[in-house]
Amino acid sequence: MRRLVILGSTGSIGVQALEVVAAGDEHEVVALSADHRWEELIAHESSAEQARAAWDGEVLSGPEALAQLISGAEADLVCNAIVGSAGLAATVVALSEGIDLALANKESLVVGGELVIELAAATGARLLPVDSEHSALYQLIASEKGQAPGTIERLTLTASGGPFRGRSRDQLASVTVEEALNHPTWEMGGKISIDSATLMNKGLEVIEAHQLFGTEYSAIDVVVHPQSIIHSMISLSDGSSLAHMGYPDMRVPIAYALHWPERATVDLKPLDLEQLGSLTFEAVDNDAFPCLGLALAAGREGGTAPCVLNAANEVAVAAFLDHRCSFLQIASVIEATLDAVDIEQSYSFETLIESDRAAREAATEQLLAFS
Ligand code: NAD
Ligand code: MG
C-alpha cells in the first residue's frame, strides 16, 4: 500500500484520481485538500464516493495548512491537482521532503522552472507528469533510455485546437464564456478549459515539456490533432517516430503516474481504429490564437518571464470567466503585462513570488484600461 495525498481533490483531476485509487487496492488516501467545494468534502458529501469512504481525519485550513498537511501525512506520493500558481508551494514542499510527486499542476513547472527540477534532483523525489501529453512523452522517452544522447531529436505535442478551431480572429471577437468552456474532447476545470480555447494551455505545456525533459524549444513542435487520440510523439535519429495513442481520458495518465512503475488496469474499451476511421492534423493558426506564440516567446526568454506570463494569464482568464473582458483581450492583457513587468534572468522562489505579484498588479491595471 502506498500512502497517497491528493491536493485539489474536489476538482476535475482530483475526483478522477480518487476514482483511479478506488478502482485498485494499491493506495491508501491519507490526506485530501480542497479550496472550492471544501464544505462538501468536510460534510462527507463530495461528488466522489471515494472521498467519503476514504476520509476520517482532521481538517486544517489557512495558508500554512497545505505544507503542514503534506509534511504530516508521511506520504509516499503526493498528487498535486491544484489549479494555477497556487499549486507551486505544494510542489516545493513535497519535493523538498523527497516525496514522489504526480504532477497535474503544470503551472508549478511553468512558474518554478529550473528551481523545481533542481529541487527534485537534489532530494531524489520523482516527478511524474499527469498532463496527458507529458505522460505520453515520459513513456516514449523511457522506452529509449540507454540510447546515445541525441537519439531523440524532436518532441511533438498534439493540441485538440479547442472549441474555436478553424475560426478566424474576427470570428473570435464576440465568443461567449459558455462557448469557450465547451471543449470538444476533454472535460476539465474552468481555467484549463479557457486555456485550451486560447491555446495558452499548449503554450504552458511546451514550457512544461522543456523543463521536464530538458529539450530545447527549437526541438519541440505543436500540431493540431482534433481527435486527441495521439497524445504526443518523439522523432528519433534513425527516421523512426514513436507516438502514444489512446482515447482522451485523464484516468489513463493519472493511473500511470499513481501506479508507476507498474501498469494499472483502467476500465476503458480498447482503441478501435476502424471505428475512428481517420486521424487528422493541421497547423496552429497563430493569428487567431496568439497565446501560444506569447508563451513560446516567454519560455525562450526564460528567467521570470514564464512566471509573469502565467500570472497575467490567470488574471485575464478569471476576468473573462467573470465577463470583465472579451476573449481576444486575454492575449492583449498578457502581452501588455509582459511589456510592463521587468524580467529577471536569475531568480529564487522569493523573486518568483514578487514577479507573480507584480504581474497580477500590472494585468489588473490593463484590465481597467480596457473597461
Ligand atoms: P479544477 O478547477 O477542476 O480543480 C482545481 C482544484 O484545486 C479544486 O479542488 C480546487 O478546490 C483546488 N484549488 C483551487 N484553488 C486553490 C488554491 N488557491 N489553493 C489550494 N487549492 C486550490 O482544475 P482541474 O481541471 O482539475 O486542473 C487541475 C490542474 O491539473 C491544473 O493545473 C490543470 O492545468 C491540470 N490539468 C488538468 C487536466 C484536466 O483534464 N482537468 C488535464 C491536464 C492537466
Ligand atoms: Mg495536456
pLDDT digits 0-9 by tens, 144-157: 999 999 999 999 99
At residue 45, the pLDDT reads: 44
- Select from 192, 194, 313 the residue to mutate for testing ligand 1; criterion: most ligand atoms less than 8 Å from CB: 192
At residue 59, the pLDDT reads: 73
- Select from 39, 79, 83 the residue to mutate for testing ligand 1; criterion: most ligand atoms less than 8 Å from CB: 83
Instruction: Calculate how far, in angstroms, residue 129's C-alpha sits from the geometric centre of ligand 1.
Output: 14
Rounded Cα gap, residues 17 and 251, in angstroms = 7
Contact between 256 and 326 (Cβ < 8 Å): no
Cα dihedral sign for 260, 262, 264, 270?
A: positive
Compute φ and ψ for 138, nearest 5 degrees.
Answer: -60, -45
Question: What's the DSSP call for residue 219?
Answer: G
Of 173, 108, 152, 355, whose CA–CA distance to 240 is shortest?
152
Q: Look-up: residue for cell 503516474?
A: 257
Rounded Cα gap, residues 303 and 112, in angstroms = 10
At residue 56, the pLDDT reads: 58
User: What spatial distance separates the first Cα and last Cα of the chain, rounded to whole Å?
Assistant: 54
Instruction: Calculate how far, in angstroms, residue 233's C-alpha sits from the geometric centre of ligand 1.
Output: 26
Closest ligand 1 atom to Cα of 14 = 26
Compute φ and ψ for 13, nearest 5 degrees.
Answer: -70, -40
CA dihedral 361, 88, 325, 355 (to 10 degrees): 20
At residue 60, the pLDDT reads: 74
Please return the burial class of 223, using the count of CB atoms within 10 Å of its CB with bins 0-12, 13-18 and 19+.
middle
Rounded Cα gap, residues 46 and 55, in angstroms = 10
Q: Report the nearest-CA residue for atom 21 of ligand 1.
A: 35
Q: Report the nearest-CA residue for atom 30 of ligand 1.
A: 104
Q: Report the nearest-CA residue for atom 18 of ligand 1.
A: 86
Contact between 302 and 207 (Cβ < 8 Å): no
Contact between 288 and 168 (Cβ < 8 Å): yes
- Pick out the chain residues at pLDDT < 50: 44-47
At residue 44, the pLDDT reads: 47
- Select from 7, 10, 12, 310 the residue to mutate for testing ligand 1; criterion: most ligand atoms less than 8 Å from CB: 12
At residue 49, the pLDDT reads: 57
- The C-alpha cell at 365 is 491595471
pTM of the model: 0.96
Instruction: Calculate how far, in angstroms, residue 11's C-alpha sits from the geometric centre of ligand 1.
Output: 5
At residue 64, the pLDDT reads: 83
Ligand 1 neighbours (beta carbon < 6 A) = 8-14, 34-36, 81-83, 86, 104-107, 131, 186, 188-192, 250
At residue 186, the pLDDT reads: 83
Rounded Cα gap, residues 171 and 185, in angstroms = 21
